[in-house]
Each structure stands twice: as C-alpha cells, then as structure tokens.
Amino acid sequence: MVDLKGQYEGIKEEVNTSIAEVLDSSAFINGPYVHAFQKELEDYLGAKHVIPCANGTDALQICMMGLGLKPGDEVITADFTFAATVEVIALLNLTPVLVDVEEDTFNIDPEAIEKAITPNTKAIVPVHLFGQCANMDAILELAKKHNLYVIEDNAQAIGADHTFKNGDKQKAGTMGHVASTSFFPSKNLGCYGDGGAIFTNDDDLAHTIRGMVNHGMYKRYYHDVIGVNSRLDSMQAAVLRAKLPNLDEYNRKRRNAARKYSKAFEGQSNIAVPKTVNGCEGICDSCDCHVFHQYTLRILNEKRDDLAQHLNDNGVPCGVYYPVPLHRQKAYVDERYDEADFPVTNQLVKEVISLPMHTELDDEQIEFITNLVIDFVNQ
C-alpha cells in the first residue's frame, strides 16, 4: 500500500545527516531537534502552537484532557473512521456519540451532528478522512450556535487545505479549537516509528497541554494537573525535519496518482471514484484540496470482497478501510444506537476498497492496477 523504502531513497542524505546530528548531540528526548521541528511545522501550517507527542491516539486524548472534558460529557464523532477517536473518548469516561457520514466524501455529516446534539454535548470531533477536510463551514457554525468545542482529528489530512464558502483557505488542523495528528510511518507525513502532535491557536490551551504531555508538570517535579507521558523523540523529529520540506511535493504526487486512477475509471458504472468537494472541480494539480491519504473506491455491484481477493492473488495490495462501523464494533456497541441512523456507513463498509497510494507510484503500476480492477468488476 505504501513504498517507504522508495521514498527513503530520495531523501536518504538529508535523513541520515539529520539522524547523525542527533546521535552526536545525545539529546534524545525533547531538546533542539524536537523544538526546531515544532517551529517548522507551526510555520508550515500557520498554526500558533504545535505540541509534539508520542502518537496520534495520545494526541487526541490530550486534546480532550486539555479542554477539560468530564465524565458524562457527550462527544460527537463519525461512525466511519479508525477506532482511535472513539477509543480515547471511552477511555476518558466521556460518552461517545457516533453519527453517520456523507456518501460522497466519507466525512461526518453535519445534519447527523445537529440531530445528535443534546444539552450534554460538549465537543465535535470531525475526522478529515482519507485526506479531505470535513465540511468545516457547517461544523464550525454548529459549534458556535451550540457552544461546542471542535477537535479536528487530522491524522489523515496533514497539508490539506479547506476552502471556506467565502473563499478563505486554511490548513487542515488549524480551524477548530484544537487538532491532533499522527506521524505513523504510513501517514502523509510519517516518521520512522511512532509520533504525533497537537495543534492549537489558543495560548492558554497550548500552555495547559504542554504540561499535560509531560506528567502535568509546568515546573520540574511540581505536578499541577494529571498528565501523561507522551513525547516525540529526537530521532523521529530528525526524520520529520527532513521530510517536512517535501510534504507539498509528496501530496502533489499522491494527487497526481489519484487523478490517473480516476481518469482510468471514467465511465465505469460499477465503480464510484472518490469525490473532491473542497473548492475544486475534480482533482486539481495546483492546490491541496485533497491529499489522498487513501484512494478509496466504492464497488457498487457487491464484488468488493472478491475484488480484494483478486488483487491480492495478483500481487496488488489493497485495504478495506473500514470493514465494520464503529457502532457495531464489540467494544463500542450500545443500545443507544439505532441501525436506521447509519444508512451511509452501513453501506460504505460493504463497498469501499482502497488501492495502493503513495509518493512512488508510477504510470505502469497504475495502469496494471486499474486494468485488473476494471476487468474484474465487469466480469
């Protein structure tokens, strides 16, 4: 699904030099490399504060801790996403409220959010799934109207732009009160181990969170709040510093591959290609409307599982993200949920399939993959 080795070949010198510097300095935790990466990412995003941490799941949890969410508070998030989001809500004894998503973008549906708001609702967690921002115009409006926090789960869309209805553009992860991201190796900006970060433009929240990631300490060995131990190490920061200057180019390559995939699938009545709705028609070359963490098709003639098998048999990796709606996962089933409220997610889990997507895909590979898919679904 990804070609991390191919990508490494292209930046080997920068990465090796950067790591060698860390080894020479012996500053393995925090220190100048983590700090430099933090500043560089703040500049890239146009975010006031970036707080690095150990992984994207921690980042989400710390966002919720930082906002002071309390047991009983309801947090609305998407039914169709990776489990990390609902997991941390549950771990903090908050009440997860899963809602349906939109068919064309796979992102949380603002109408479903509005229906789910109660007097106990405290926050909305939109996940910018597969590399495209959720409908932030509608979500921010709802949050304002109902006085809710917005926590963006930006693990899959770093570098993406959201174009607001008035034409303003903002980077994914800088629009809500606070955001989380992941630097897991396969993410668009991945390190060579685990890593994550929290973004916010709020000075007070940034201060609170900086202590929380370090055992609740604001002064060494004085613990003012309950915190966690969640750090980005200097080796990972060194890798990320070498990669960040290439992020836009990496995302452009992904978009390029996506455009070629979609072009090949044009006119295929059994295949729905991913839609970009974010200010652009189609998949444009010039802006970061979608950064294609995944290129996800919907197979409309019930052949999805057989197609996955066929691709595997032919040496083409593929993924089903995600095969089970969160409201039906054993850990999160709850009598509060009504199947009738999840028509889109229930359908998507049967139709979606993600094709290989990375920075090193070439035309020959794309042609081979698209031919396999087209021949099989039309059999």
Ligand X SMILES: *Cc1c(COP(=O)(O)O)cnc(C)c1O
Contacts for 349 with CB less than 8 Å, ≥ 6 apart: 80, 322, 323, 324, 325
Peptide bond into 192 cis (omega under 30): no
One-letter amino acid for residue 277 of the chain: V
Min CB(184)–ligand X separation in Å: 4
Q: Which residue lies nearest ligand X, judged by its C-beta?
A: 56
Q: Which is nearer to ligand X, 121 or 294 (CB)?
A: 294
CB 52 within 8 A of CB 232: yes
Min CB(80)–ligand X separation in Å: 10
Min CB(364)–ligand X separation in Å: 29
Q: Which is nearer to ligand X, 50 or 372 (CB)?
A: 50
Contacts for 97 with CB less than 8 Å, ≥ 6 apart: 74, 75, 76, 77, 116, 121, 336
CB 181 within 8 A of CB 199: yes
Identify the DSSP state of 62: H
Min CB(178)–ligand X separation in Å: 14
CB 274 within 8 A of CB 299: no
Q: Scanning the structure block, which residue is given the tokens 């915190």?
A: 227
Min CB(13)–ligand X separation in Å: 27
Per-residue string for binding with ligand X, 14-53, x by CB under 6 A? ----------------------------------------
Burial class (CB in 10 A: 0-12, 13-18, 19+), 342: buried
Min CB(20)–ligand X separation in Å: 26
Q: Using CB under 6 A, which of 65, 78, 86, 127 touches ligand X?
A: 127
Verify binding: residue 262, ligand X, rule CB under 6 A.
Answer: no
Counting residues that bind ligand X (by CB under 6 A) gives 15
Angle between helices 56-66 and 203-212 (to 10 degrees): 120
Site for ligand X in 49-88 (CB under 6 A): 55-57, 81-82, 84-85
Verify binding: residue 198, ligand X, rule CB under 6 A.
Answer: no
Per-residue string for binding with ligand X, 134-173, x by CB under 6 A? -------------------x-xx-----------------
Site of interaction with ligand X (CB under 6 A): 55-57, 81-82, 84-85, 127, 153, 155-156, 182, 184, 194, 196
